């Protein structure tokens, strides 16, 4: 997908002042009429419709089971890829219960929720990643990541560039969409990522990576592997980087902090900024940075430099991507 930086869409003129100074035209003659102009406030039209649907369903729905916080959003969300794991609860009679917060971040928080069908043994626990919209000030480095992604030249683009309240909501929604698409694509080719269950607005539900006792899988940065375990994790990492490279993409923000180790397996997380190395003019720069970040971490834990040479690995990945 192709795009330009936000700056290309900046409009020095105030569109509101322009509308006041222009003579009033009839709808029939207004060939530039943009239905987006009817939007107001902080919410996108999609979000407004979604919230209205939630209110309507809340009025019509039966009382929630004890301990539940909402009825399932499965029927309203964008659903994950097939073949769908058996543990995913798709019954529309299910209800969701909040179990706590797993992680807080600058752009999103991750909660733990349980989705279960009342009076049955059917249920599952999922991670709910919820992107902030009105609260956050800026998604870090988003202009660089968005190079190569198609967006239309529009009022929405200017709102995102200027970080208006409406624009921040659009950014949050866009990142949720991007991460869900990335997870769906990578999971479908066998990459070690959590299964993306569904996306509903700015909320992304995905497979919970943790133990039966409720302990979440640790980040690689929290571990101190050595010897054979360290070498095995490095081997897993180079395999997944190669798999991504054959798809023409790189993580874009890879470090030991967005790699989990679940039951001995290295898992990629935090993928909203996945970079297309062909479409993005800085794609190879992001690839080299990803490799350098993780190679430095493994080298700091004692893996020999001849095995973790970032230049050598980057060259191999560029060859795997067919970009040499």
Positions annotated as catalytic residues are 253, 270
Contact 232, 116 (CB under 8 A): no
Return the structure tokens found at 264: 């001995």
CB < 8 Å & 24+ apart, contacts of 226-230: 226/301, 226/302, 230/298, 230/301, 230/302, 230/303
List, in sequence order, every beta strand (DSSP E) within 68-168.
70-71, 78-79, 95-104, 108-116, 123-131
Question: What is the helix (H) or strand (E) element at residue 25, kind and residue range?
Answer: none
89: left (phi over 0), alpha (psi -120 to 50) or beta: beta
**In angstroms, rounded to a whole number, what is the distance separating the alpha carbons of residues 250 and 244?**
6
**In angstroms, rounded to a whole number, what is the distance separating the alpha carbons of residues 3 and 152?**
8
Contacts of 258 (CB under 8 A, 6+ apart): 219, 251, 268, 269, 270
């Amino acid at each position: 997908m192709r795009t330009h930086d936000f700056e290309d869409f900046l409009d020095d003129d105030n569109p509101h002042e322009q509308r006041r100074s222009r003579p009033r035209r009839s709808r029939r003659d207004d060939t530039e009429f943009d239905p987006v102009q009817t939007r107001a406030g902080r919410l996108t039209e999609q979000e407004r419709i979604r919230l209205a649907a939630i209110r309507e369903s809340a009025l019509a729905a039966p009382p929630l089971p004890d301990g539940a916080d909402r009825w399932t959003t499965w029927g309203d969300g964008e659903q994950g890829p097939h073949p769908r794991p058996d543990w995913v609860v798709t019954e529309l009679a299910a209800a969701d219960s909040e179990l706590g917060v797993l992680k807080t971040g600058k752009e999103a928080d991750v909660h733990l929720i349980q989705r279960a069908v009342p009076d049955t043994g059917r249920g599952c626990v999922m991670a709910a990643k919820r992107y902030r919209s009105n609260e956050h000030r800026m998604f870090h480095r988003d202009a660089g990541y968005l190079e190569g992604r198609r967006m239309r030249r529009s009022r929405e683009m200017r709102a995102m560039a200027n970080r208006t309240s409406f624009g921040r909501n659009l950014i949050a929604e866009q990142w949720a969409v991007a991460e869900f698409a990335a997870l769906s694509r990578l999971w479908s080719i066998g990459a070690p990522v959590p299964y993306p269950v569904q996306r509903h607005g700015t909320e992304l539900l995905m497979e919970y990576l943790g133990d039966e006792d409720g302990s979440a899988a640790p980040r690689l940065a929290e571990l101190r592997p050595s010897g054979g375990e360290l070498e095995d994790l490095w081997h897993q990492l180079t395999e997944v980087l190669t798999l991504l490279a054959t798809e023409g993409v790189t993580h874009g923000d890879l470090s030991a902090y967005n790699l989990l180790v679940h039951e001995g397996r290295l898992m990629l997380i935090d993928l909203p900024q996945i970079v297309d190395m062909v479409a993005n003019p800085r794609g190879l720069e992001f690839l080299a940075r990803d490799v350098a970040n993780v190679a430095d971490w493994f080298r700091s834990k004692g893996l020999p430099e001849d095995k973790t040479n970032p230049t050598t690995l980057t060259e191999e990945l560029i060859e795997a991507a067919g970009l040499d």
